[in-house]
Structure 1
Amino acid sequence: MSPFNFTHILTQTVDELSDSESYKGLFHLHKDGEPLPSAKVLYDIIELTRSILFPGYYGNSTVNSRTVNYHIGVNIEKLFDLLSEQILAGLCFACDEKCSCTDQKRENAAFLSAQFISKLPELRKILATDVEAAYNGDPAAESFNEVIFCYPAIKAIGNYRIAHELLLLEVPLIPRIITEMAHSETGIDIHPGAKIGTHFTIDHGTGVVIGATSIIGNHVKLYQGVTLGAKSFPLDTEGKPIKGIARHPILEDNVIVYSNATILGRITVGHDATVGGNIWVTEDIPSGARIVQTKAKK
């Protein structure tokens, strides 16, 4: 095949891909001067936030009781600047074509960044309960140090709790990117819209899915492969899924769900209930119940 034929193929492909019909619904019209969300910067934001929440475990390893105030102060300043820019990028990305990147929007992004940072002390308190739950719930865990350093659940739950706070502040897009980063890293998929109480842990973790409208109480433990999903998707008059309705399970306090259980729909698993492994659940479970597979009769 001659070089001319290669050129013809490449040119034809460019023309086909440039046809507006081929990218309809897949093209984001970027406006000059507006920032775009950056996965790399968001990764840095997560690392900074982890170093603030867990000083000495992430970030500068030389931090001690005398220098912790300095290190946290430096990281807070970095976090404020980076997060303000990424929130602005999210706000701009979510705008329609007539929207412009104004000074007011920049001020709003900075305000939201400061509001998020003000939540970090409470986030640390809640994450401390998650670390405690992971340690107490796993006989193989030898220390809190090991849990914080090694357990994928802590990373995934940490990303979720960060993203959830940003979602509560109505920051668009960025929260979902942050939880999907943890999904890629750990195999644990927690939607930032889910509501999760204290002392939450996921043992092993891989394959866990927690849907957007799930509600999880305090002292809940999930094992690998658990799905808290939707049973069905109600459709509108045009046959499209209706957005924003409550469609995922509610798990009350002290619930344990064992590996590969699938719990679907807006049902309630009552407090102190236990759901065994490899079970498909689509109906309410009473408080204190123990649901396991029935043995086949011979």
Structure 2
Amino acid sequence: MSFHIEGVVSALKAARGTLSRTADKSGRVLDLPSPRHIETAIAGLTSALFPRRVGGARADSNGALDYFVGHTLSQALDGLQAQVVRELAFTASLAADGIVDTEQTSRSIVQEFAERLPGILEVLYSDVRAAYDGDPSAKSLDEVLLSYPGIKAVVHHRLAHALYKLDLPIIARIVAEHAHSATGIDIHPGAEIGGSFFIDHGTGVVIGETAVIGERVRLYQAVTLGAKRFSVDDNGALVKGLPRHPIVQDDVVIYAGATILGRVTIGRGSVIGGNVWLTRSVPPGSNIVQAQARSDVFDSGAGI
């Protein structure tokens, strides 16, 4: 049985008109990168980075493994380049001159991204090791890589951050939001994060765009590294790009539910306790905990 949908189609068309797509100066509606195709490319990149553990490649010989990595990586980069072409064309159409050789430029950008992958993999190894060393329940590095949501989020962040640094903010944000939806961990691709980074449990973690995190930092669930306030210009519009998120130095531990807001610095080796609300800098070696709750007994309405 077919449905009577002609009226629904017309109503959807009318509704779409209330949220107009971005168009260039000639009025042509612009194509945007496809989240579905970007997710496919990232899955391929992850398989190429971890061919046996994630990609499912057999370990028959180094030659076979190299072939798998080369083939998988080539397909992923081809798919990524197609989306880079879309983002470059979209950005160029909104610029003053609107001129860019999207094919050549996209190839150059994706080549540079590919050349950064070995360095990204080295840092990811340190992240996996930090998760294994920092969690007494972890039985193996393989378990950590395959099943920990914090590692999934960090893998995506390392790739998204590289794309962000190559001036592909739309694609980078799509990569980050894919991990966010899968793990509940929200890391803006602009955040600078050092190696041996471990997010334990992870649900509800938020790390803002201009946050800077040092080496060997550990976060627990529901930690927020956010902005305290947003600057506006004379017209009341938000001023974008200003440093507004915390700096977390090396060897810091931040426990569950802590909220740290603004461009404050958490000194090296500090420990921030659970559910702490912090809007000021603290020196190295600090141990910040909640104030102790006071318990009093009131008789006959004496507490009123």
How far the C-alpha of 1:279 sits from its partner, in A, is 0.9
Instruction: Report the aligned-residue RMSD.
Output: 2.4
| CA distance in 2: counterparts of 1:154 and 1:111, whole angstroms | 29
Paired residues of 1:91 and 1:172 also in contact (CA < 8 A): no
2:82 corresponds to which of 81, 85, 90: 85
Which segment drifts farther, 226-235 or 90-99? 90-99
| CA distance in 1: counterparts of 2:11 and 2:234, whole angstroms | 38
| CA distance in 2: counterparts of 1:205 and 1:11, whole angstroms | 41
| CA distance in 1: counterparts of 2:128 and 2:279, whole angstroms | 31
Paired residues of 2:93 and 2:99 also in contact (CA < 8 A): no
2:92 corresponds to which of 69, 91, 95: 95
1:174 aligns with 2:171: yes
How far the C-alpha of 1:101 sits from its partner, in A, is 8.0
1:111 aligns with 2:105: no
Which residue pairs with 2:268 in the alignment? Answer: 271
Which residue pairs with 1:165 in the alignment? Answer: 162
Paired residues of 1:94 and 1:173 also in contact (CA < 8 A): no
1:57 corresponds to which of 50, 53, 68: 53
| CA distance in 1: counterparts of 2:13 and 2:77, whole angstroms | 43
Q: Note closer, same or farther for the CA distance 1:275–1:238 as it changes in structure 2 (3 Å cut).
A: same
Which segment drifts farther, 45-54 or 119-128? 45-54
Paired residues of 1:80 and 1:110 also in contact (CA < 8 A): no
- 5 Å-filtered alignment, 1:65-214, equals 65-66=61-62, 67-96=64-93, 104-214=101-211
Which residue pairs with 2:290 in the alignment? Answer: 293
Q: What are the Cα deviations for residues 109-145 of structure 1, in whole angstroms up to 9, with x where unaligned?
A: 0111111000111011000000000000100000001
Q: Note closer, same or farther for the CA distance 1:97–1:128 as it changes in structure 2 (3 Å cut).
A: closer
Which residue pairs with 2:232 in the alignment? Answer: 235
3-state secondary structure, aligned to 2:164: helix
| CA distance in 2: counterparts of 1:178 and 1:58, whole angstroms | 18
| CA distance in 1: counterparts of 2:79 and 2:87, whole angstroms | 12
1:220 aligns with 2:217: yes
3-state secondary structure, aligned to 2:123: helix
Q: Note closer, same or farther for the CA distance 1:100–1:268 as it changes in structure 2 (3 Å cut).
A: closer
- The total of aligned residue pairs comes to 287
3-state secondary structure, aligned to 1:94: helix
| CA distance in 2: counterparts of 1:139 and 1:14, whole angstroms | 53
How far the C-alpha of 1:93 sits from its partner, in A, is 2.3
Which residue pairs with 2:22 in the alignment? Answer: 28
Q: Note closer, same or farther for the CA distance 1:33–1:70 as it changes in structure 2 (3 Å cut).
A: farther
Paired residues of 1:249 and 1:264 also in contact (CA < 8 A): yes
| CA distance in 1: counterparts of 2:52 and 2:13, whole angstroms | 54
Structure 1 unmatched runs, 5+: 1-5
The code of the aligned residue for 1:179 comes to: A
Which residue pairs with 2:302 in the alignment? Answer: none
1:256 aligns with 2:256: no
3-state secondary structure, aligned to 1:253: coil
Paired residues of 2:192 and 2:212 also in contact (CA < 8 A): yes
Which segment drifts farther, 207-216 or 163-172? 163-172
How far the C-alpha of 1:58 sits from its partner, in A, is 1.8
Structure 2 unmatched runs, 5+: 296-304
3-state secondary structure, aligned to 1:119: helix
Output the TM-score relative to the length of structure 2.
0.88
How far the C-alpha of 1:146 sits from its partner, in A, is 0.3
- Aligned-residue identity in percent: 41
Which segment drifts farther, 175-184 or 74-83? 74-83
1:282 aligns with 2:276: no
Which segment drifts farther, 92-101 or 59-68? 92-101
How far the C-alpha of 1:90 sits from its partner, in A, is 1.3
How far the C-alpha of 1:10 sits from its partner, in A, is 6.2
Q: Note closer, same or farther for the CA distance 1:69–1:252 as it changes in structure 2 (3 Å cut).
A: same
Which residue pairs with 1:3 in the alignment? Answer: none
How far the C-alpha of 1:40 sits from its partner, in A, is 1.5
Q: What are the Cα deviations for residues 137-183 of structure 1, in whole angstroms up to 9, with x where unaligned?
A: 10000000100110011111011110111111112310011000000
How far the C-alpha of 1:199 sits from its partner, in A, is 0.2
Q: Note closer, same or farther for the CA distance 1:52–1:283 as it changes in structure 2 (3 Å cut).
A: same
1:246 aligns with 2:240: no
Which segment drifts farther, 263-272 or 47-56? 47-56
Paired residues of 1:167 and 1:175 also in contact (CA < 8 A): yes
